[in-house]
Amino acid sequence: MTTWMDAIAVNELPAGESTAVELGNTELLLVNADGHFYAVENVCSHDGEALAGGEIDGEEIICPRHGARFCLKTGQVLCAPAYEDIKTYPVRITGNRVQVSVECDRD
């Protein structure tokens, strides 16, 4: 099952920046792309390295290792050397908090 989990305060992540967070058993990358928050898995589908530290370009992230590009909204891979999409997670703002819907072990 999935549940909404509290990640960070809105003002903790300025526009154009990202931060790795662990929610439940999920390690993800939270991104503020010009005021829109996105959550993607923090693993590049090319070589399994972290996407953390990658440049944010509009609604895209560029892997800091070899330059693969992914859509933050859909997880779609946009250029080589990666060929597989990455997972995305629903994000919502509640008050001043950024929350992400992730899978959890509870029934």
Residues that bind ligand FES (CB under 6 A): 44, 46-47, 49, 63, 65-68, 81-82
For Cα atoms 47, 59, 57, give the angle at the middle one, nearest 5 degrees: 75
Neighbours of 104 (CB within 10 A): 15
Q: Which residue number, 39 or 98, has a Cβ lying nearer to ligand FES?
A: 39
Q: How far is CA 68 from CA 37, 39, 53, 55, 63, in A?
A: 21, 17, 13, 11, 5
Least separation, in Å, of the C-beta of 1 and ligand FES? 31
Q: Which residue number, 12 or 59, has a Cβ lying nearer to ligand FES?
A: 59
Least separation, in Å, of the C-beta of 38 and ligand FES? 17
